[in-house]
Amino acid sequence: MKKTGVFVCHCGKNISSTVNIDQVVEEIGKNPNVTVCRDYKYMCSEPGQNLITETIKENKLERVVVACCTPSLHEETFRKAAESTGMNRYFLEIANIREQCSWVHSDMNKATPKAISLINSVVGKINLNNSLEPIKVPVTQKALVIGGGIAGIQAALDIANSGYKVTLVEKNPSIGGHMAQLSETFPTLDCSQCILTPKMVEAGKHENIELLTYSEVEDVSGNIGNFKVKIRRKAAYVDHDKCTGCGDCTEKCPTKVLSEFDEGLGKRKAIYSPFPQAVPNKPVIDKDNCLYFRFNGKCGICQKTCLLEAIDFTQQDRFIEDEFGAIILATGYDTYPKEKFREYGADKYLDVITGLQFERMVSASGPTEGEILRPSDQKIPKRVAFISCVGSRDPEHHMPYCSKICCMYNAKHAHLYKHQVPDGEAIVFTIDVRTAGKGYEEFFTRIKDHDNVLYVRGKPARVIKKGDKLVVWSYNTLTGRQLKLEVDMVVLATAIVPTAEAVVLSNKLRIQTDENGFFSEIHPKLRPVESMVPGFLLAGCCHSPKDIPDTVAQASAAASKALQMFSQPELSLDPQIAFVDPDVCSGCKLCVPVCPYEARIFNEKKRIVEVKEALCVGCGSCITACPSGATQQKNLQDLQMATMMEALLGS
Amino acid sequence: MKKIEEINDEIREVLLEEGAEGIYKCYQCGKCTSICPWYQVDLYDFPVYRFSLETAMGMVASSEDKNELAQEIDKIYRCVGCEACVDQCPHGIDTPKILRAAKRLLVDFGSYPETLKSTVQKIKNVGNPFGEPIENRADWAKESGVPQFQEEMDYLFFPCCLPAYDPRNQKVARATAGILQQAEISFGILGTKEHCCGEVVRRIGAEQVFTQVCKANIKEFTTSGVTKVLVSSPHCFTTFKNEYPEFGADFETLHITQFLSKLIDEGAIKPAKEFNKKVVYHDPCTLGRKNGIYEEPRNILKSIPGLELLEVEDFNRNLSVCCGAGSGGLWMEWDKDERIVNVRLKQLIDTGADIIAVACPYCLQMFEETLKSMNSEIQVMDVTEILYEAL
């Protein structure tokens, strides 16, 4: 038997209020395998850690069990402390008596014996632990950024400027994302394009950035430090090496379709570059709408127009494969479909538009060249209603969360409207106005005061057409009176939701999302930019709704996490993974297809299966598949499991 | 004197015990108030959004001033239980249910509208809200030759009190029975053995009377061997389907439009005669919003040759507006200019239809009564009546 010490943490009152610590210490002390058992109020504190290290030295302990919170919080802390005494770090383990005991029970008489069983099970198991060393793997010092909005651009630039290579993949023909669609940004009213385009150009020209627009990630294999990625480059039907972006083809193209960039308010051609400042500013052909493709080779005007012979209708999707050390997810957001709001007539009235459509309307590059004209008759609307929380904060029908940016952009929109139509009236319908952010409350107050913007506290229930007006039905909950307001245009602040592509990616890459489809971070407070899968980092609205400053900050943070990885020559991976006993393995290969990480390889020469250690994450799938018991988990072998079960269930 | 608010936790606790739920979730957005049918009645203001907060404060029916209390009670009984607010509330707060908790208190104290007291009393005594003798409950069926239900029959047809006693609604019962007979469906009625389903007394707050009729019906259905029930009224439908099981009921309930729509799809009935009229369908709250049955009645109407089906574009399906008869509204005597039914009828008339098709005896009764004093040519018919004419 190894000399084992047990350390029981009170966690303030988190554990001690439901688990009787004195009784635990007494009972554990009776376990013949335990040399010493101590308790302390905060074991993770410096004196707590010192108690552990001193006791290890004093008693020449060979194994340590800390009974405290979840290992995901402090296992590392305590292992470091144990290591400082010369002990192998894998000789220390956690018995989780907080999340798995005190927090989920209220009856001390039942929680205390459970805590004792949990600790005894780990004491029995750790006795059989082997000394392990972390697995060292080399790092591919190159990052992949998925998504070319402001988050992806910022992350790519930060990494590139630190001297590392980055590949930036964007599904659209240009980078820029939603920020490129915006008119002015709150609270400073900077022109969005003016502050964004220099970054787009820099990303497009940077020697360390490989820009792959009109491309999508098809598949990712491998592990942190060494991912293998397959990228689809969608056929643009334009040879971008030959094309100079002169725009002649676009001008001559006879087909007009609704522009995605203009949120359906304007038109674009079938061969198009989404907006004038696009990077790269080279067109692609939208195959679904192109006459050449639709009618079997008829048309082809663009091909005849292009003197450089850059149009190539025979182009096919191409695939490229590359290796990366870290992947930054920056897939952005979509706005919740407005058609779902039948009560606001958003499925049938042209003059009920979204906030993003309003942005296009007030943008100088937009379909009305910046003039606020309502879609139905191109007249200047003299009264505009802005409705907040359309699809947000509505757990019953739509999204439960606050989309965070709408209160601020409503204020901005009201200001932009009043600036252009001084004799018009802007009315904002709200439940509450949320202005947490630097300079935000000041901006909100200034807009209301300077521009005489009327804020009505109430969520409208209906928008009904009456002649050429729209009537907003609401109740002013502050004056306590009914308000039926005739307006010329209604702007809905529709919720921010994850993109459809993010949903596909999360399934493909096995990245966990929250219940709303946003990528989950590993720890909401302390590790906010790392996903649950090592090596995947998060930036921007794919993680949660965010404004531009928060997005840029998170993008830089994600970049710094990637750089942290690249700054080390090799990464240390957890060695508590699967291994194969070569004498027992029959080479049946049942485990090979079971492994989700492609970490199992059949060795033709030895006729047995082997583990690719850098790929194995220790999920245990192979162990359940193995019929002979040849596959085992390091430090969690069958005998150890049996020992634990015995302690938990009673022999 | 100025009013100072206080929290009355005693009233609050009682209301919570009586079934008020979700009151703390309310963020006072007021969407309930502007979707409520009273919002469209110019002369009456009904701030629905305050009930959650007032319940949480224990401020419902709490005034010590007699006149004020009377006003509060009047307000509580304005709710017609159409659930438009529940449908639109971002948190799904059931304000009619919150108000029902208050109504239960008021019924216990006998402090509720006199007309409703009489309705409750009649249902308690003779099992129908009109005080008609129970022996006459099957009179409507005498000429049609509808048999008494026998255990070997497939379906019990349960026509609701209105079609059983009210002369106008009796025509609906006869039309329905006629269709079922033509389709050779094996069915019968319990007639004098049935009671009101109790929906209205429950909505009024008279829980004891509800329990009484509910148990009497369940007992009768069980001893008669009923397994499947066809109902004319969405109110019977929702009560049998969603509320009776709690009291031990074990039978399947179908609204007549569900059943007939299926028969049409299967080819068991074929409307052959032309019905050359413009028909607008009015979604009854309890059939549509409450139970999601929007398509079946439309499907029946669409199957009739010559019939042109119109919609109240802005106010159909879940956005339909109540006729005003729910939760005892049929028996309330609100001022002539303060009635929801006027609003709804105007919307229906404005479509230019010849006929309003309904699938609920309350809506039929409410529209018919109101149209008598209105200058309009429009007629009201139950979906089954139209179908019967087309067979």
How confident is the model over B158-207, as pLDDT tens digits? 999 999 999 999 999 999 999 999 999 999 999 999 999 999 999 999 99
* B31, B45, B319: residue with CB nearest A459: B31
> Residues 222..281 of B with a Cβ closer than 8 Å to A: which?
none
* Residue in A closest to B314 by C-alpha: A464
Contacts of A481 in chain B (CB under 8 A): 45
A431 touches chain B (CB under 8 A): yes
Which residues does residue A34 pair with via DSSP β-bridges, in sequence order? A4
B47 touches chain A (CB under 8 A): yes
Q: How far apart are CA A388 and CA A358, in angstroms?
A: 14
pTM beyond 0.80: yes
Interface test mutation site (partner B, options A403, A474, A475, A492, max chain B beta carbons within 10 A): A475
**Which pLDDT value is given to residue B3?**
77
**Which pLDDT value is given to residue B1?**
64
Q: How far apart are CA A59 and CA A65, in angstroms?
A: 14
Closest alpha carbon to A72 in A633, A453, A574? A574
In the sheet that holds B252-255, the strands lie side by side as B187-188, B155-158, B228-231, B252-255
Contacts of B33 in chain A (CB under 8 A): 461, 475, 482
Contacts of A398 in chain B (CB under 8 A): 90
**Percentage, residues of chain B above pLDDT 70:** 100
CB contact under 8 A, A482 and B35: no
CB contact under 8 A, B314 and A458: no
* Residue in A closest to B49 by C-alpha: A477
B88 touches chain A (CB under 8 A): yes
Which residues does residue A472 pair with via DSSP β-bridges, in sequence order? A463, A485
* Residue in B closest to A480 by C-alpha: B47
Structure-token pair, residue A622: 């192979």
**Which pLDDT value is given to residue B256?**
98
How distant is the Cα of A471 from the closest Cα of chain B, in angstroms?
12
CB contact under 8 A, B33 and A393: no
**Which pLDDT value is given to residue A651?**
53
Residue A156 carries which DSSP code? H
Closest alpha carbon to A143 in A598, A617, A616, A555? A555
| pLDDT tops 80 at residue B355 | yes
CB contact under 8 A, B90 and A474: no
Q: How far apart are CA A257 and CA A290, in angstroms?
A: 10
How distant is the Cα of A555 from the closest Cα of chain B, in angstroms?
33
Contacts of A395 in chain B (CB under 8 A): 90-92
CB A275: neighbour CB atoms within 10 A? 20
Structure-token pair, residue B245: 């099981």
Residue A248: CB partners within 8 Å, gap ≥ 6? A305, A306, A307
Contacts of A349 in chain B (CB under 8 A): none
Count of CB pairs separated by less than 8 Å, A with B: 68
B28 touches chain A (CB under 8 A): yes
* B28, B45, B90: residue with CB nearest A394: B90
In the sheet that holds A481-487, the strands lie side by side as A462-466, A469-476, A481-487
Contacts of A462 in chain B (CB under 8 A): 34-35, 314, 319
**Which pLDDT value is given to residue A615?**
83
A106 touches chain B (CB under 8 A): no
A93, A634 contact by CB (below 8 A): no
* Residue in B closest to A430 by C-alpha: B29
CB contact under 8 A, A459 and B35: no
CB contact under 8 A, A480 and B314: no
Domains of chain B as residue ranges with CATH: 9-111 (1.10.1060), 115-261 (3.40.50), 269-390 (3.40.50)
Contacts of B92 in chain A (CB under 8 A): 395-396
ipTM: 0.95
Distance set, CA A438 to CA A254, A444, A549, B339 (Å) = 48, 12, 10, 51
Contacts of A397 in chain B (CB under 8 A): 90
CATH architecture designation of domain A334-497: 3-Layer(bba) Sandwich (3.50)
Q: Does domain A142-234+317-332+499-566 have CATH number 3.10.20.30?
A: no
Low-confidence ranges of chain A (pLDDT < 50): none
A393 touches chain B (CB under 8 A): yes
CB contact under 8 A, B91 and A481: no
Which residues does residue A456 pair with via DSSP β-bridges, in sequence order? A429
How distant is the Cα of B49 from the closest Cα of chain A, in angstroms?
8
User: How confident is the model over B308-334, as pLDDT tens digits?
Assistant: 999 999 999 999 999 999 999 999 999
Contacts of B82 in chain A (CB under 8 A): none
User: How confident is the model over B213-250, as pLDDT tens digits?
Assistant: 999 999 999 999 999 999 999 999 999 999 999 999 99
- The SS3 of residue A530 is strand
B29 touches chain A (CB under 8 A): yes
Per-chain mean pLDDT for chain A = 96
**Which pLDDT value is given to residue A221?**
87
How distant is the Cα of A448 from the closest Cα of chain B, in angstroms?
21
Q: What does the angle CA A564 – CA A566 – CA A572 come to, to the nearest 5 degrees?
A: 80
Burial class (CB in 10 A: 0-12, 13-18, 19+), B95: buried
Contacts of B34 in chain A (CB under 8 A): 458, 460-462, 473-475, 482
* Residue in A closest to B35 by C-alpha: A461
What is the domain partition of chain A in residue ranges?
4-132, 142-234+317-332+499-566, 248-305, 334-497, 575-634
**Which pLDDT value is given to residue B53?**
96
A477 touches chain B (CB under 8 A): yes
| pLDDT tops 70 at residue B36 | yes
Same fold? A334-497, A575-634? no
**Which pLDDT value is given to residue A196?**
97
CATH architecture designation of domain A575-634: 2-Layer Sandwich (3.30)
At which residue do the structure tokens 């009618």 appear?
A295
How distant is the Cα of B68 from the closest Cα of chain A, in angstroms?
18
Q: How far apart are CA B148 and CA A553, in angstroms?
A: 77
**Which pLDDT value is given to residue A41?**
96
* B28, B90, B319: residue with CB nearest A396: B90
B31 touches chain A (CB under 8 A): yes
Residue A445: CB partners within 8 Å, gap ≥ 6? none
Residue A105: CB partners within 8 Å, gap ≥ 6? A18, A111, A114
Fold type of domain A4-132: Rossmann fold (3.40.50)
Contacts of B35 in chain A (CB under 8 A): 343, 461-462
CB contact under 8 A, B28 and A482: no
